[in-house]
Structure 1
Amino acid sequence: MSKMYLELAKRNLQRAKVRSLLAVIGILIGVMAVSAIGIFGESLKAAVLQNFEDVANELIVSPNFQEGYKYLDEKDISRIKKLPNVAEAIPIKSDSLLVESKKKKSYAVVYAMDEKDVEDMFKAEKGSIRLKSSCVVGKRLAEFADIRVNSKITIAGREFRVAAILEDTGARFDINPNSAIILSPEDFEKVSDVGYTMLIVKAESLEKVDDVKKEIEEKINSRDEKVVVFDLKIILERINEAFSQINTFLMAIASVSLLVAGVSILNIMLMSTIERTKEIGIMRAIGAYRSTILRIFLMEALILGLIGSAIGSVLSIAGGYAIDLMILQDASYVFRLSTLLYISLGFSIGVMVSVLSGLYPAWKASRLEPIEALRYE
């Protein structure tokens, strides 16, 4: 019986090829818009989050200035390093010091870090990272002061040779070396007497971040609120939420085209009902049930939706690829599981809109009385 409904629906659509084609195109465009924009939104979110992957499992421990603590205690740093689920803890000193080169004199942030930690966290654009009686300089500061590899600069009255210029790291939430200088802890003590101003704690995994944060607060802040612990996972969650909202908004705008396609199908089906009034009357007169007429019309709407949605889903991959390549200059994000999810979503919405648009015309056709339909001219 279902096969008979399908054949009747196909025959009826073929009788109005132009209108059927226009309906399919409308659905196609709508599905393509929803899926392609969804793919792009997810690609944009992935591209932004990728910049924070290296620091996602980090916690920043800093002294609680409001409680009168200016620096971190070395004993507390040692206790944090021994906590479970802590993969690494990097103590950092920082101070704003006068830096002089041949052409510029200005204050800059100077960090004290172990050479191994610098090598793990940053990359040298020029030269090689060496901190023994040498320093490394951030790219923006090097450009501003015209500092080059192997040139000499003076920091708080002491001379150091520049071993490397670091790559631009973009925005960071732990330390920002782009406009700073990094010295070894031993050399830093020669130009500043400040204590530890920050401790970067890396959890063994992203899932362990909350546990590590809780352990630090319980062990170090048991009596006094000595430290403030900030986990970067919160930032990732906020970014993820923001992009999800933006993506939903963009897809809602794109869905307007599907609404237009739905109106087109509604119009086509209503026209078909009017044109086939007499035919429906004959079917009803020879014993066709109202449910039969309803199923035939819904089958027609379903066929239009399936064809348009299928073609639109395939083309949305090309659309998403083109948008990513044009805006992000990287189309690799298209080949992700989320792409299939948005294609499935676009396909499902397209079919659903088509069927819903066909409901009223199908119901109207099924309600025609045989005698009145046979009299229709």
Structure 2
Amino acid sequence: MAWRNLGRNRVRTALATLGIVIGVVAIASLGIAGVALQQQATTDLGSLANEVTVRSGADSDTDGVTDEQVEAIRSVVADAPVVPEKTNSTTLSSRDGEETFVSVTGVTNADALYTVSAGDSPERLRSGALLTNGTARRLGIELGDPVTYDGRLYRVQGIIESEDGFGGGNELVVPISALDEQEHYDSVTIVAANGDEAQEIVSSLESRFNEGDEEELAITNFAGVQENVNSFFNTLNLALLGIGAISLVVASVAILNVMLMSTIERRGEIGVLRAVGIRRGEVLRMILAEAAFLGVIGGVVGAAASLGTGLVIFEVLAGDPTLVFEWASLRYLGYGFGFAVAASVLSGLYPAWKAANDLPVEALRG
């Protein structure tokens, strides 16, 4: 009976359902967009959150990190790779004479810091060089081509992915022996397994090198920044849910109107049902079932539309539309559907109560 009653005025029912669909899409799509933005930010900060950078502190006696300090760092860190670095800058030239300014980094364990899109990033960089792919394209340099730094020739044996944290910009990576004229290291990078381990390393190094207000070594890590970013996006998602919920509240008012109009139009019919023995509870359940049907239909259609929208959002922001099927995103489809059904049933309570408590004699009189 509830299903049949909804079909009596299809236009009104369709408009009420459309309001539910819009509300569900607003809640689910905004939530999914927040997850996609959070995932993109986490990915961008992921490599930096796992890395601890050590430089000479404000109270250090040396302009740089010494060999003794590097060995002390290794004794504190134990398992994580410790990569000392020396830096400089130079100008590289292409075959046609075009010049590009690049930063120069001297390391030994290149594999710990750099991911290459072509060639090799060796565990011990001895004679070759690595170059960021943007610089290589700009200068027309390919694997095996020579580059010159400080009068010495190096063959390019790896092209660095420019989107990586340590591969961004214009960078030339050479063996650390190429910068032997620099007595101390400019920095030391420690590559932890995850952000939690990185923060533990920071605490251990602070205890070992920096006592009280003295700063022998400046120790930095971005894990705390990532936590702040996640906290921000969690708050943002709640705000977006609140904005989307407003649409469902508006849709609930439309359902309330539909249910009231329906019960008024069928007042005589409901009076006949009551007169032949239909109980109040059965009338109440029938009206609530109609409201629930509206919520379920609108929730299902809205969730399907939101899933399609989520595929597009993740394709644009993350480059992988299948990420929408992870729980972090799918839960917002559940939130939207659940909110739709709950809002619809609540909107039907008053019309159902009014119809169930209308006296049969008065209902039959119209």
Same fold (TM over 0.5): yes
Summarize the Cα distance change of 1:151–1:9 in structure 2 as closer, same or farther, 3 Å threshold. Answer: closer
Q: Choose the corresponding residue for 1:208, options 173, 184, 197.
A: 197
Shift of 1:91: 1.4
Distance across 1 between alignment mates of 2:106 and 2:45: 23
RMSD after superposition: 3.3
Q: Choose the corresponding residue for 2:28, options 21, 32, 35.
A: 35
2:102 paired with 1:108: yes
The match for 2:113 is 121
Query: Which residue identity does 2:289 align to in structure 1?
Result: M
Query: Which residue identity does 2:190 align to in structure 1?
Result: V
Between 264-273 and 91-100, the greater mean CA deviation after superposition:
91-100
| 8 A Cα contact 2:132 2:169, kept in partner | yes
Query: Which residue identity does 1:132 align to in structure 2?
Result: R
Shift of 1:356: 2.4
Summarize the Cα distance change of 1:275–1:126 in structure 2 as closer, same or farther, 3 Å threshold. Answer: closer
The match for 2:329 is 339
2:162 paired with 1:180: no
State TM-score, norm by structure 2: 0.82
The match for 1:136 is 130
| 8 A Cα contact 2:6 2:290, kept in partner | yes
| 8 A Cα contact 1:122 1:166, kept in partner | no
Between 70-79 and 366-375, the greater mean CA deviation after superposition:
366-375
| Deviation per residue, 1:98-125 (Å, 9 max, x gap) | 65666255653221101xx323432444
- Counting aligned pairs with the same residue, the percent is 30
The match for 2:208 is 219
Shift of 1:372: 4.1
Length, aligned pairs only: 362
Distance across 1 between alignment mates of 2:271 and 2:286: 14
Shift of 1:353: 1.6
Query: Which residue identity does 1:179 align to in structure 2?
Result: N
For residue 94 of structure 1, give the secondary structure of its aligned residue in structure 2.
strand
Distance across 2 between alignment mates of 1:101 and 1:314: 53
For residue 82 of structure 1, give the secondary structure of its aligned residue in structure 2.
helix
Shift of 1:289: 6.5
The match for 1:70 is 63
State TM-score, norm by structure 1: 0.80
| 8 A Cα contact 2:45 2:226, kept in partner | yes
| 8 A Cα contact 1:30 1:257, kept in partner | yes
| 8 A Cα contact 2:87 2:105, kept in partner | yes
| Deviation per residue, 1:215-252 (Å, 9 max, x gap) | 11101113631122222212322332344344444444
Summarize the Cα distance change of 1:154–1:101 in structure 2 as closer, same or farther, 3 Å threshold. Answer: farther
Which 5+ residue runs of structure 1 have no aligned equivalent? 1-7
Distance across 1 between alignment mates of 2:146 and 2:193: 39
Shift of 1:275: 1.1
| Deviation per residue, 1:246-275 (Å, 9 max, x gap) | 444444444444334322211101101221
The match for 2:253 is 263
Shift of 1:81: 1.5
Shift of 1:188: 1.7
Between 267-276 and 356-365, the greater mean CA deviation after superposition:
356-365
For residue 161 of structure 2, give the secondary structure of its aligned residue in structure 1.
coil
The match for 1:352 is 342
Summarize the Cα distance change of 1:233–1:277 in structure 2 as closer, same or farther, 3 Å threshold. Answer: same
